[in-house]
Structure 1
Amino acid sequence: MERLKGKNIVITGASGGIGAEIAKLCAARGANLVLLARNIDKLQVLQRDLQQHHHVKVAVFQLDVSDTDKIKEVFTQIFATVQYVDILVNNAGFGIFHAVHEATIEEIKGMFSVNVVGLMACTSMVLPKMRERHSGHIINIASQAGKIATPKSSVYSATKHAVLGYTNALRMELADENVYVTAVNPGPIATNFFTIADEKGTYVKNVQRFILQPEYVAQKIVNAMLTRTREINLPRWMNMGSVIYTLFPRLFERIGKKAFNQK
């Protein structure tokens, strides 16, 4: 409980879902927060709630992480406010479930701009000070989709594959800098993610019994903060699928074809 007390934690995509739940848990443990999202109204409501119930500092900034110029501007303001960042949680992201031939160029660019480029840009803003201080933690929210690509999530899976590749390389680069790097690979979570990703509701209906609660995912993430945790895979049994897929890809795709096409 004491590990996070007084630490400065930046969370992107903090206006709802696991971002907001992470913020609540960190505030309860005495951390100072910088919350970023596109919806400033929701951030301000969360800010008031956290400050009312916990004696911590909470700053909020409106930010669309697809706007790299805005990222530079906002992080300049962040460093003027908190001087340095102990933990960055790259949580902002979205997906759209379409067959490859149905995905528009705008959707493809949008997902890569937010899920990949935005994540990299935010990370680049905090890394110099973390390296200088030989202290810090980068937590990137990836997905089980980054390990197993499935039909109708080709672009989303591609972005999460990219996040995992970037995260793994970054971890090795920082191995001697005392800066930790963690990838979080959850399965489906009960958030508004699927409002955009699954317009017809087919996927949610088919995986209802497997859907994770955001509070549970957030708890696992917060418990791992400032520890040398390589990956958090949720649920743990689902990660076994990626191990089997790596060893027996053709068999896995043949057997799993029916289940994968339920989106």
Structure 2
Amino acid sequence: MANERLIGKNVVITGASGGIGAEMARLCAEAGARLVLMARSVDKLEILKEELQTRFGVEVLVYQLDVSDTNAIKVVFADVLQSLGHIDVLVNNAGFGIFREAHEASIEEIKSMFEVNVVGLLACTSMVLPVMRERRFGHIINIASQAGKMATPKSSVYSATKHAVLGYSNSLRMELADLGIYVTTVNPGPIATNFFNIADEKGTYLKNISRWVLQPEYVARQVVGRMLTKTREINLPRWMNAASIFYTLFPRVVERVGKRAFNKK
């Protein structure tokens, strides 16, 4: 069932050229939202725009944007706000990871992950907050990860970026609690997207965990179904989130018992 709350609403999605970003765009378009899609691959965005306008007859704006470029973020979001007046929902979906042991991660890789996953997310959010606060309405959805709750070997830097996203989101949620603005974090486990083309160069991790990999359509449906609702977190799959909670309570036990599984990367 389509989310009727989205009819006529302005929804911005970063990293929208593929994976769960593109799937969320399809579901939002089906629900009657006006879409603003952003990604580095503008060619893919144009193809998706044509599909959504043809299938659903909705207005779709596309912008080429690398969220590691904070100056570009200012220009693009200023243009969106000039064109539409306001943004109802911002989905900070752009992000990437590289699985390496800490001593193998280069400074360039570390900086890139933080620039995209953390600084870019904060910069995009900062651009929509003033108008959302003025209107006392809006929803910020930050795509984080179960890795932000439970770090594992070879994901030290990636996990650190997602820990940062969770910390920022939790603080922001409290700041906006009395203004009618919702903040939701989405914490999925592994998803079958191009993410692993970069993160898992050898392909061994994805192969080892294939039975637990989430499908992007499923994740997108969970997110879009909760847009413009007071949802604190979306944790997928539930059993993995239960493991994260158990880890918080009994970290030594989990690290000892789960050692073999954690080292499948």
Give the TM-score normalised by structure 2: 0.99
Correspondence 1:196-207 to 2 at 5 A:
196-207=198-209
4+ aligned runs moved over 6 Å, structure 1? none
RMSD of aligned Cα (Å)? 0.5
Q: How far apart are 1:227 and its partner, in Å?
A: 0.2
Tell me, in whole angstroms, the C-alpha distance in 2 between the residues paired with 1:262 and 1:237: 18
The reply to whether residue 100 of structure 1 matches residue 102 of structure 2 is: yes
Tell me, in whole angstroms, the C-alpha distance in 2 between the residues paired with 1:15 and 1:55: 19
Tell me, in whole angstroms, the C-alpha distance in 2 between the residues paired with 1:196 and 1:115: 14
Q: What residue in structure 1 maps to residue 253 of structure 2?
A: 251
What is the aligned-residue identity percentage?
A: 71
Q: How far apart are 1:55 and its partner, in Å?
A: 1.9
Query: Of 177, 182, 187, which aligns to 1:175?
Result: 177
Tell me, in whole angstroms, the C-alpha distance in 2 between the residues paired with 1:242 and 1:179: 27
Q: What residue in structure 1 maps to residue 124 of structure 2?
A: 122
Q: How far apart are 1:165 and its partner, in Å?
A: 0.3
Correspondence 1:213-252 to 2 at 5 A:
213-252=215-254
Correspondence 1:154-193 to 2 at 5 A:
154-193=156-195
1:43 aligned counterpart, secondary structure: helix
Tell me, in whole angstroms, the C-alpha distance in 2 between the residues paired with 1:246 and 1:2: 37
1:224 aligned counterpart, secondary structure: coil
Q: How far apart are 1:252 and its partner, in Å?
A: 0.7
Structure 1: which 5+ residue stretches go unaligned? none
Tell me, in whole angstroms, the C-alpha distance in 2 between the residues paired with 1:5 and 1:179: 18
Query: Of 126, 132, 135, which aligns to 2:134?
Result: 132
Structure 2: which 5+ residue stretches go unaligned? none
Q: How far apart are 1:82 and its partner, in Å?
A: 1.0
Q: How far apart are 1:2 and its partner, in Å?
A: 1.8
Matched AA of 1:198:
D
Query: Of 72, 75, 78, which aligns to 2:77?
Result: 75
1:88 aligned counterpart, secondary structure: strand
Matched AA of 2:122:
M
Q: How far apart are 1:70 and its partner, in Å?
A: 0.3
Tell me, in whole angstroms, the C-alpha distance in 1 between the residues paired with 2:72 and 2:6: 28
Deviations 1:144-194 (A, max 9, x none): 000000000000000000000000000000000100000000000000000
